Structure 1
């Protein structure tokens, strides 16, 4: 299992339109998810992060397909970037 973090930039003017779409997409994926943002905006852009804890490695592809189908890219400035983290073994 992995923890998946997906982050991207959102224009201030698009935030209110994008948030319900992301939340609906996350609900359809059927896995516990979080939607976060940095507290400050820079140059009219907010940084948002979707967090998917304890999901299978293949889940990253499902998230990106769901984002395409939900039309999220039209509200995002630039690419969606994904990072994967795993638990640190207790022996370290």
Structure 2
């Protein structure tokens, strides 16, 4: 294990020291960009979900609450809630 570690360190060290600092920083930023974007997108989705739940709780009619949640989930998955194919089969 130590031999592999030493060989890898020996092979990588010259490559890293020959690169300018800005190239190493750019590589690090490229590697970190997707996880950061994913975390920000998830955070925004959680905030939107919390806002929607707050608004749904303000509705007085339980049927409207359920319909609002169904419509929200459909738009969240990319379906058009007003399209006939998105309507449930048991709905009259």
TM value normalised by structure 1: 0.28
Rg larger for: 2
Query: Which structure shows the bigger proportion of residues in helix conformation?
Result: 2
Query: Which structure shows the bigger proportion of residues in strand conformation?
Result: 1
TM value normalised by structure 2: 0.28
Structure with the greater relative contact order (CA < 8 A, sep ≥ 6): 1 or 2? 1
